[in-house]
Amino acid sequence: ERWAVFAYNHVRSLSDKEKRMYYDCVEGHGELPGSGLGSKISHRRICLATSTDGVHWTKPSLGIFNRNGSTANNILVEDSGVSVFLDSTKGVPESQRWKMICSNAAYSSPDGLRWTKLPWTSVAEDDTKPTAYYSPALQKYVVMVRRDVHLSGKAGSVVRQVGRCVTDNISDWQKE
């Protein structure tokens, strides 16, 4: 969190007294990976804060993510943008009950803390976090995205598009 905490966050209320905020933070100086700036390269991570009232938040030491030889932190995964939901699909295993969609990956978890990356092939890149949920009415996953699409034949011309993906396969939603 040395450089920034982005607004790509997601709050889940598990009960009146238990709330979780999954948030996107950046360690470094804002330089993108591959910029050739060595140790100044930024790392995007999904972290967790908890609250009992939704106003005051704490960052628990989770013992999950190894950062510089220590797991005494609140980091869940190295990724960016975050949307978390409980999957109400019939027959979904308890080990995959929680789902997390990030800008470049999809994850599942039994508890919303320990995440397993699902098979993923990137088709396009979102310019902000996708927002996802399971729709009982459609009996499908729904993912909202916002993308910058380059116009063919017009150098430097970009149009922002908002899209809605509806799919049976949350780990491969970009192909749908």
pLDDT at 4 over 60: no
Average pLDDT of the segment spanning 23-45:
65
Q: Across the chain, which distance is largest between two alpha carbons, in Å?
A: 55
pLDDT at 47: 92
Q: What contacts 90, CB < 8 A, 6 or more positions away?
A: none
Q: Is the pLDDT of residue 5 over 70?
A: no
Residue 97 predicted with pLDDT over 70: yes
Least confident of 14-18, 64-68, 146-150: 146-150
User: Rounded CA gap, 72 and 142, in Å?
Assistant: 35
Q: Is 67 left (phi over 0), alpha (psi -120 to 50) or beta?
A: beta
pLDDT at 29 over 70: no
Q: Could you tell me the pTM of the whole model?
A: 0.80
User: Confidence class of residue 40 from pLDDT cuts 50, 70 and 90?
Assistant: low
CA pair distance 92, 133, nearest whole angstrom:
14
Q: What pLDDT score was predicted for residue 118?
A: 92
**Lowest-confidence region among 18-27, 84-93, 114-123, 143-152:** 143-152
Contacts of residues 21-24 at CB distance under 8 Å and 24 or more positions apart, as own/partner, are 21/48, 21/49, 21/50, 21/51, 21/57, 22/46, 22/47, 22/48, 22/76, 22/82, 22/84, 22/100, 23/47, 23/48, 23/49, 23/82, 24/80, 24/81, 24/82, 24/129
Mean pLDDT of 45-56: 92
pLDDT tens digits, one per residue of 105-159: 899 999 999 999 998 776 666 666 788 999 999 999 998 888 777 777 666 677 7
